[in-house]
Amino acid sequence: MDVMDAADSPAALPTTVPAPRATANRSTTPTSSTFVEWISSGWADPPQPLPEPRASAASAAAHRAAISALHPGERLLIPAGRNSVRSNDTDYPYRAHSAFSHLTGWGADTVAGSVLVLEPTDAGHDAVLYLRAPAGRHTDEFYANPEIGEFWTGPRPSPAVVAADLGLPTRDLADLAAVIEKTDAATRLLRDADPELTDHVDGLRLMGLDDPAEVDTDGDATLARDLSELRFRKDAWEAEQVRLAVEATRRGFDDVIAQLPRILAHRRGERLVEGAFNGRARVEGNAVGYDTIAASGPHACILHWTRNDGPVLPGDLVLIDAGVELESLYTADITRTLPVDGRFTEVQRRVYEAVLEAADAAFEVVRPGIRFSDVHAAAMRVIARRTAEWGMLPVSAEESLHPDAGYHRRYMIHGTSHHLGLDVHDCAQARREFYRDGIVEEGMVFTIEPGLYFQPDDLTVPEEYRGIGIRIEDDILVTADGAENLSAGIPRTADAVEAWVLGGRS
Ligand code: GLY
Ligand code: MN
Ligand code: MN
């Protein structure tokens, strides 16, 4: 729906109870008054004790204070987002928008459709979280609505329970409509979280204007940018979440190694790699933080190989890029490249050592005050030097490193680092001058992930290198005077990786 349509017929407010989707061919819910009376009665009303605030509450409160300070006098709407349809009446697994989780501390158990409102006051903002309260068992929503009915999807917490849990005032979502319609302050909306709410707000903004182009959404863009930039520096609780995600990810890699004999015996061994890792992610966390890459043999040269439908053959290197996302929604992002037989060949080891050297060189420069791009530059010096040494470049390493050249980038086309946190590619709406061209600060968490990828049909590389793809990816926390490799405990030298594979196969 475009803005003009929205004005003509406003989109459904998040407060509206979604009508059950067409279920004529599968629903057998009786509708007789006898049944309705029967199903609506005879339910116990157990007490809902109020919990202590969860561990994320203080961190989220500090994040709210920070965004409040950046937007005085403005009403801020940060939706969690609704369910999104996968096909027909089947939804994708629900996941709250990361900015919403950052400001509320609500993670995998977020009630879909919730909206955080920061209401401007003389002193800053009052935060109120609007969520759909339980409908009660006297309603047909309870038993006849497969999308949100508690009989179908499980119990929803009351606003009082959520208020205690998150340390945040709450109200029923039904009260949100009146807030959205207020015109006493400029309203800023996180637009991409809930497209239907965005259409509705745009429709209200359009009232009294002649042209949809007059609807001013610049303030929304500024809010999205600020919410992204707020996430550059992680507090101690957030850093601990990434640390825990990395530890769970290590166990996921252990699971893969334990299953290598089965993986090698199966015609779709890559799927078994993915399944082993993803099983760990579901057991210990919410899910994987992104689609697992399980790339064996030449598939490792395909940077985002997520089809994962190939075999894992003796002699292969299998590149596994995977991360567990915790219930808090913080994720790890780790790559290890494993020789499935437990031994690198001489040429595989040569390439592996070069990638490791690039990773270590990048790690060496990390400390507060450097430019973020210095990390990449340090890795690239090694990649250029080694590929030149192996006769792959038509020029010297120095010439290739010149900004107008870049021959070595043929073998590592991607960047070395990205921020990491609630999103695998965190802080994505931040301004370039604070991200790629920005200064590294204490508390930042980012990856270091150099690689070398020699495509099987690349005539510029000697034949012995073709089909080898290697990446080593670690998650880094910037400290007061340097950096901590949060994933140093996951074997990463060639010898340690060999010992890991040989010792871990069951
Ligand atoms: N797993 C995606 C990345 O490393 O950026
Ligand atoms: Mn990464
Ligand atoms: Mn990765």
The answer on 274 and 204 residing in a single domain is no
Q: Which domain holds residue 334?
A: 236-504
Q: What are phi and psi of 332, to 5 degrees?
A: -95, 165
Q: With respect to residue 140, please indicate whether it lies within any of the assigned structural domains.
A: yes
Q: What is the pLDDT of residue 30?
A: 87
Q: Rounded CA gap, 225 and 417, in Å?
A: 20
Pair (213, 342) in one structural domain:
no
Residue 479 lies in a domain: yes
Rg (Cα) of the chain, in Å, rounded? 26
Residue 148's pLDDT is 92
Pocket lined around ligand 1, Cβ cut-off 6 Å: 290, 321, 333, 418, 424, 449, 473
Residues 325 and 223 in one domain: no
Pair (488, 372) in one structural domain: yes
Task: Please tell me the distance between residue 447's alpha carbon and the centre of ligand 1 in angstroms.
Answer: 9
Beta partners for 130?
115, 171
Q: Is residue 212 part of a domain?
A: yes
- Residue whose tokens read 């610049």: 218
- Which residues, chain by chain, have CB under 5 Å from ion ligand 3? 321, 333, 473
User: Which ligand is the nearest neighbour of the Cα of 448?
Assistant: 2
Other C-beta atoms lying within 10 Å of the C-beta of residue 29: 16
Ligand nearest to C-alpha 476: 2
Looking at ligand 1, which atom is closest to the CA of residue 447? 4
| Predicted local confidence at residue 211, as pLDDT | 81
Q: Which of 187, 207, 229 is where one domain is finished?
A: 229
Give the CATH number of the domain where residue 289 resides.
Answer: 3.90.230.10
The single-letter DSSP state of residue 300 is G
330 and 458 co-located in one domain: yes
Are 118 and 126 in contact, with CB atoms under 8 Å apart? yes
153-159: long-range contacts (C-beta < 8 A, 24 or more apart)?
156/111, 156/131, 156/132, 157/48, 157/111, 158/48, 158/133, 158/134, 159/131, 159/133
Beta-sheet pairing, 287-288 with 324-325: antiparallel
Distance of CA 503 to the CA centre of its chain: 32
Q: What total number of domains does the chain contain?
A: 2
Is 291:306 a contact under the CB 8 Å cutoff?
Answer: yes
Quick check: 454 and 337 in contact, CB under 8 A?
A: no
Same domain, 275 and 397: yes
Same domain flag for 156 and 79: yes
Helix 57-70 to helix 236-258 angle (10° resolution) is 120
Q: Residue 477: CB partners within 8 Å, gap ≥ 6?
A: 234, 239, 242, 243, 443, 444, 445, 483, 484, 486
**147 and 109 share a domain?**
yes
Q: Of 246, 302, 233, 244, which is closest to residue 270 (Cα–Cα)?
A: 302
The pair phi, psi for residue 477, each rounded to 5°, is: -110, 125
Residue given tokens 């909306």 in the structure block: 189
Which DSSP helix (H) or strand (E) runs through 127? Answer: strand 124-131
Our CA angle for 380, 413, 313, nearest 5°, is 105
SS3 466: coil
Residue 302, burial from CB neighbour count under 10 angstroms (0-12, 13-18, 19+): middle
pLDDT of residue 24: 65
Distance 371 CA to ligand 1 centre (A): 21
d(CA 182, CA 184): 6
Q: Can you spell out the DSSP letters for 211-262?
A: -GGGS--HHHHHHHHHHHHTTSB--HHHHHHHHHHHHHHHHHHHHHHHTHHH
Ligand 2 centroid, distance to 339 Cα (angstroms): 21
Are 366 and 500 contained in the same domain? yes
CA of 332 to the centre of ligand 2 (A): 9
Closest ligand 1 atom to Cα of 322: 1
Alpha-carbon distance 497 to 336, whole Å? 9
Q: Which residues of 422-460 are buried (b: 16+ CB within 10 A; e: fewer)?
A: bbbebbebbeeebbeebebebbbbbbbbbbbbbbeebeb
**CA–CA distance, 446 with 247 (Å, rounded to integer):** 16
Shared domain check, 240 and 211: no
SS3 175: helix
Closest atom of ligand 1 to CA, residue 425 = 5
> Which CATH number does the domain housing residue 225 bear?
3.40.350.10
Last residue of a domain, one of 199, 229, 259: 229
Is 485 part of a structural domain of the chain? yes
Distance between Cα 303 and ligand 2 center (Å): 11
Are the C-beta atoms of 79 and 194 separated by less than 8 Å? yes
- Does residue 83 sit in the same domain as residue 103? yes
Distance 453 CA to ligand 3 centre (A): 15
| Distance of alpha carbon 244 from alpha carbon 408, whole angstroms | 36
Residue 1 is assigned to a structural domain of this protein: no
**DSSP structure class, residue 286:** S
Expressed in angstroms and rounded, the spacing between residue 334 Cα and the centre of ligand 3 is 5
3-state DSSP call for residue 141?
helix
Q: If you search the block for the tokens 């999308």, which residue do you land on?
A: 147
Q: Which atom of ligand 1 is nearest to the CA of 323?
A: 1
**Cα–Cα distance, 282 to 274 (Å, whole number):** 12
Nearest CA to ligand 1 atom 4: 333
Ligand 2 center to 305 CA (angstroms):
14
Domain final residue pick, 229, 254, 276: 229
Pocket perturbation via mutation, ligand 1, pick of 325, 331, 424 by most ligand atoms within 8 A of CB: 424
Q: Are residues 225 and 240 located together in one domain of the fold?
A: no
> What's the pLDDT score for residue 389?
98
CB atoms within 10 A of CB 377: 15
Q: Which ligand is nearest to the CA of 335?
A: 3
| 167 occurs within a structural domain | yes
* Mean pLDDT of each 10-residue bin along the chain, 506 residues long: 43 78 72 93 91 98 98 98 94 97 98 98 97 93 91 94 98 96 94 96 87 86 98 98 99 98 98 98 98 98 98 98 99 98 98 98 98 98 98 98 98 98 98 97 98 98 98 98 98 98 90
What is d(CA 131, CA 170) in angstroms, rounded to the nearest whole number? 7
Mutate to test the pocket of ligand 1, among 305, 376, 419, 473 (most ligand atoms within 8 A of CB): 473
Nearest atom, ligand 1, residue 414 CA: 5
Q: Rounded to whole angstroms, what are the CA distances from 180 to 77, 151, 224, 421, 435?
A: 9, 31, 18, 30, 33
Nearest to 384 by CA among 361, 417, 418: 361
- DSSP string for 56-123: THHHHHHHHHHHHHHSTT-EEEEE-----EEETTEEPPP---HHHHHHH---TTPPTT-EEEEEEETT
What's the CA-to-centroid distance between 98 and ligand 2, angstroms? 17
